[in-house]
Structure 1
């Protein structure tokens, strides 16, 4: 029987975990969230939330995963025999699959834009060209389904190769390239005339935006961008050897997530201000505003290709982590079934995602609680699935595992360990409940 795979190196694990965390949350979502919520103030609150709340929960998931050395369901059964904590593993499977079902739709959009940019088909002929193009793409049933399928094929191809041969190898070249490409884009953006206004927007606080709403949104962004709450990090940490120090790994993942978010802001905001746009464009920033921005700068077509390659890399590093949860639970200890399971679960998730892909076109009139199928899938996972999963994960680490067990696993100095322990037992659950209540209010009021 095949043996359970493991990460071949600490850097391989860090890059894979960071890739899962970064995803569209840092490159696509952070800029438009910051753009509509005060720029610098949002960034400050995001960094504080990531380090003070998100990082401790991430570390808790690392502990649970590494101690279990198995898929999430089996890990909870091992560490809490006879208790229903294993349901957290199943909830991770369900919600990560829902996330991947609509995440792959966005991955398909990116592929559509990337192909067009490579063949220099992204050339605005009118003032509203890019807005009309985006609308035509997401409303075309054949294009969105074929593109979504192509994105899922890429995800399956990587995951079927296993941890060392697939996920770790892909992350080792995709993540460094992501940073290199981003730095090139930052340099180009910062050399535009008028770029300083964008820098001020990102780094000089306008405290009028310091409100309860901004705090909650920044906390939610930090929380969800770290991929905590759906057993992704529990799954990845289960492939980690006992020799690795979890504290430094978790800190590196959090810092890389913050770093890429700031780089994304440095790419987007200087260019947006330099060319006379406003930063509060919302989710369409990457697909409508940025192509228009790139079109107006020298060598813009080349930089547009780089940007969509970046988006593709970031999306893939997250999608492979979400498919890995299904595969790890599906195969349990039958590791020779990995290839078959990758294709079966990948195909199922692709089929589940088709209604989301069609929700802006032929199914645009179909609504659930006033939302399109795509928006509902996003809402139900972001506002319910992730907070509930992270809340109970935090409670499990803080109350089910003994203080001695946690201390022996983390090997932190006493002040750091005590601070982490207090956050996991008290501060993190309170913060998650606030996010969860916000989601309920948004739904019913």
Structure 2
């Protein structure tokens, strides 16, 4: 009965028109601000090449197995994340309560969408600044001519004080995201990814090549890839595990949802490997893109939002054609942010379509409106609502405003728990015949992958969760 219902529902369901469309959309979902800012800074601060090697090791042995686990659940279920898990659980004779792992992912995706679109609004603001600067400074001039270093670095703090401006920018970014999600999988999400991701890669490579000739490229290679294994301590290795996990956007039911639109003739193991390789390549190239510019200007390489919204704009000032490069950089970041926000909105949208029978435009519009309300509140948490600490009664989140609380709850709790439950479900609960039929692995690889999902991945995800809750446990 379950199989019949599933076949009937899948027959009229939208999906990816091609394997390449799915891969580009999934890469777009995975590639985000964490790849462009967090990874290069983590690598530079934690042993350079030694950290990079261990990170790649973690991608292969932890990130990729979890990615494949999420994707195969979706492809088997051919429905929203919660219903896909429900179907696999029913066919395995397991409790319906396992749908909670996907429900937690749906909630995480919605919460991240709310504050992620605020960040997307920040990117739009800087795109506007550099568009205006291009007309002022010209194509060959440095960026932000006539402004002092303190003036440039004050742009971002000044923006954070303007709740109204950030709310407008947030609304614009939500509206752009809604446009693509409301148009469907093949007609909206896939078309956006097919255009935006190649453009993103062209801009990334172009700026990297520019930095190699005009920036401190040799110093960057030494900065990022010098091997210092003495710095590869327990906390550093755990940081690499966490970066591998968060870099692939696991634990938010995104890959379960995207996997549900994949045709039966697509080999999930091969496509998941391609997605992981592309995501890792972006992280590595991002370091070669950003740090030649920063180091050539003699500025701090400290990561975080300050690197993107304060340090880099200052770096573009002294560069030839800095206004053009600055504009290209923030357009590139905007593309990455948009493809990620589209995937985040798609998760609760697909859930609402399945759960309530809404038409896709109504479901997407409802999700967008709710995300905008929460996003506006989080935008004001930097100014008018700065003293509002929604989870202040919990020591782990004491002192955090709404924006940072949304980030912390999802990153420290919901995402690791969701991914941990996913590995337990796939490794121990779901029937092995279904897993083997979906994963696309043959020979000894399927047994090795199954071992990783059963043992190594849960242990690593449990460690991420424990350190997230008890950050001082390793002396970090």
> Is the TM-score greater than 0.5?
yes
Pairs aligned (count): 445
1:415 aligned onto 2:428: no
TM norm structure 2: 0.90
CA displacement, residues 333-383 of structure 1 (integer Å, 9 cap, x when unaligned): 887700111111111011012222112212222233122221111111001
Seen in structure 2, the aligned counterparts of structure 1 residues 331 and 129 have a Cα distance that, compared at 3 Å, is same
Question: 1:193 deviation in Å?
Answer: 5.1
- Which residue of the other structure, out of 290, 311, 331, is the alignment partner of 1:309? 331
Other-structure match for 2:284: 262
Determine if contact 1:4/1:335 at 8 Å carries over to the other structure: no
Name the SS of the counterpart of 2:470 in structure 1. helix
Structure 1 position 95 matched with structure 2 position 108: yes
| Greater mean deviation of Cα atoms: 324-333 or 226-235 | 324-333
Say yes or no: does 1:345 pair with 2:374.
no
Determine which of 7, 12, 30 is the counterpart of 1:3. Answer: 12
Match of 2:415 among 373, 382, 386: 386
**Which of 232, 235, 239 is the equivalent residue of 1:213?**
235
Change (3 A) 1:74 1:443: farther
On the 8 A contact 1:198/1:272 being kept in 2, the answer is no
Distance 1:268 1:97 in 2: 30
Secondary structure of residue in 2 paired with 1:404: helix
CA RMSD of aligned residues (A): 1.9
In 1, Cα distance between the equivalents of 2:403 and 2:356?
Answer: 34
Contact 2:40–2:224 (8 Å) recurs in 1: no
Q: Which residue of 2 aligns with 1:395?
A: 424
Name the structure 1 match of 2:79. Answer: 70
The 1:316–1:13 alpha-carbon spacing in structure 2 relative to 1, beyond 3 Å, is same
Moved more, 278-287 or 168-177: 278-287
Cα distance between partner residues in 2 of 1:159 and 1:44 = 37
Unaligned stretches of 5+ residues in structure 2: 1-8, 137-142, 393-397
2:178 and 2:338 map into 1 onto residues whose CA distance is 10
Give, in whole Å, the separation in 1 of the partners of 2:295 and 2:36: 18
Structure 1 CA distance, aligned partners of 2:215 and 2:415?
Answer: 42
Aligned to 1:224: 246
8 Å CA contact 2:352–2:358 kept in 1: the answer is: no
Shift of 1:443: 8.4
Residue 286 to residue 366, structure 1, CA distance change in 2 (3 Å)? same
Bigger drift between 88-97 and 366-375 goes to 366-375
1:34 to 38, 43, 57: 43
Task: Name 2:172's counterpart in structure 1.
Answer: 150
- In the other structure, the counterpart of 1:17 is 26
Partner Cα distance (2:267, 2:175) in 1: 34
Taking the aligned partners of 1:223 and 1:432, their CA distance within structure 2 comes to 8
2:468 to 415, 433, 439: 439
List alignment gaps of at least 5 residues for structure 1. Answer: none
